[in-house]
A = this chain, B = another copy of it.
Amino acid sequence: MAVASVTPTPLLKDELDIVIPTIRNLDFLEMWRPFFQPYHLIIVQDGDPSKTINVPEGFDYELYNRNDINRILGPKASCISFKDSACRCFGYMVSKKKYIYTIDDDCFVAKDPSGKDINALEQHIKNLLCPSTPHFFNTLYDPYREGADFVRGYPFSMREGAATAVSHGLWLNIPDYDAPTQLVKPRERNTRYVDAVMTIPKGTLFPMCGMNLAFDRELIGPAMYFGLMGDGQPIGRYDDMWAGWCIKVICDHLGLGVKTGLPYIWHSKASNPFVNLKKEYKGIYWQEEIIPFFQSATLPKDCTSVQQCYLELSKQVKEKLSTIDPYFTKLADAMVTWIEAWDELNPTGEGLAKPSILNGPGK
């Protein structure tokens, strides 16, 4: 098999699912075949469930449309967004694997400066399997990388680092700009390949983009909720941002690491800035209050599981953000519903089977 020569031993083959939200045929997978084919895909079909999504031959996948989501979650399906890529988080919930990689269907294989195709998934796996350094900044970037180390003055007691929960990858070509920046700089392209992976320090928030993102489901999965966006909601394009703020506060509280940097994917086409502006405009002014809220959010010491942290955060959201807009009351309730649904589909206790309702997705 040609694939075998490219990736002789695909890392974490049986421990990672690739989650793809889509409304169209997945021709983009052809380019990813050498890297993705060994893995299992979870495709979350957004929009009209009667439409057939074509998946290229040879991929191992399960596909869920809105009817499947409604059937599996029942009334709790209300926490999963519709007509917005936020629906992807349903895939995180139904996965049975330890790791998730999620990618948008307009993202292609990028090349490194030497011209070689970048195996984005492999780099994400490396990022997740090696520790983070959230407590002190290492000026030579990832100290665990070959040819690098901790620099003079880095405390030895901190050199074991923290477990990595999230790996945030970047984009060459079309950068992930908001609508106003897209409008002002329609021709800007990201051509700079920065050869670094770094830990986002404890206490620092970042804008997490869901386009090229991997995480450890066991460590942080229940916090990776992409919120209420799109159809029937006053806001869009803040799904990944919302998740990013929540996961960062919780990772900081639980002592987990979040990395950003490599790998790059090639982002092929800019979305329509006028449509984006309509989706984003409330978020653009709401975030001026939301971000200070998350910057000052603290969680009580007795919150030791991701679920506990997330439910506590939902309370604080309801209490402190509902004054901005009634939407946040609805969102806080959806956060609770999300956790209930997560726990229903992911019962704790070793050896417990998944609920039988999960059997038979619409493959």
Does A260 sit within 8 A of B, measured CB to CB? yes
Do A155 and B188 contact each other (CB < 8 Å), given the known contacts A196-B196, A204-B203? no
Q: Are B207 and A139 in contact (CB under 8 A)?
A: yes
Q: Are B260 and A139 in contact (CB under 8 A)?
A: yes
Shortest CB-to-CB span from A259 to chain B, Å, is: 11
Shortest CB-to-CB span from A42 to chain B, Å, is: 25
Does A305 sit within 8 A of B, measured CB to CB? no
Q: Are B207 and A204 in contact (CB under 8 A)?
A: no
Does A288 sit within 8 A of B, measured CB to CB? yes
**Beta-carbon contacts of A138-164 to B below 8 Å, as 1s and 0s?**
111100000111111111110000000
- Partner among B152, B168, B176, B194 whose Cβ is within 8 Å of the Cβ of A178: B152
Chain B residue nearest in CB terms to A287 = B155
Q: Are B136 and A291 in contact (CB under 8 A)?
A: yes
Shortest CB-to-CB span from A35 to chain B, Å, is: 23
User: In whole angstroms, how far apart are the Cα atoms of A57 and B29 in the complex?
Assistant: 64
Q: Are B136 and A151 in contact (CB under 8 A)?
A: no
At the interface with chain B, which of A45-53, A221-229, A237-245, A342-350? A237-245
Chain B residue nearest in CB terms to A177 = B152
Shortest CB-to-CB span from A272 to chain B, Å, is: 14
**Beta-carbon contacts of A186-211 to B below 8 Å, as 1s and 0s?**
00111111111010111111111100
User: In whole angstroms, how far apart are the Cα atoms of A255 and B147 in the complex?
Assistant: 35
By a CB distance below 8 angstroms, the chain B residues around A139 are: 168, 170, 176, 206-207, 209, 260
Q: Are B137 and A200 in contact (CB under 8 A)?
A: yes
Shortest CB-to-CB span from A106 to chain B, Å, is: 15
Does A175 sit within 8 A of B, measured CB to CB? yes
Q: Which residues of A contact B (CB under 8 A)?
A: 113, 136-141, 147-157, 168, 170, 175-178, 180-181, 185, 188-196, 198, 200-209, 237-238, 240-241, 244, 260, 280, 284, 287-288, 291
**Interchain Cβ contacts under 8 Å between A and B, 29 examples:** A136-B205, A136-B206, A137-B205, A137-B207, A137-B260, A139-B207, A139-B209, A140-B170, A147-B189, A148-B175, A149-B177, A149-B188, A150-B177, A151-B175, A151-B209, A152-B176, A152-B181, A152-B237, A152-B241, A153-B238, A154-B207, A155-B287, A155-B291, A156-B288, A193-B195, A194-B196, A196-B196, A198-B198, A204-B204
Starting from the known contacts A137-B207, A138-B207, A140-B170, 17 additional A-B residue pairs (CB-CB under 8 Å) come to A137-B204, A139-B260, A141-B194, A148-B175, A148-B192, A149-B181, A149-B185, A151-B178, A152-B177, A152-B207, A152-B280, A153-B178, A153-B208, A154-B207, A155-B291, A156-B180, A194-B194
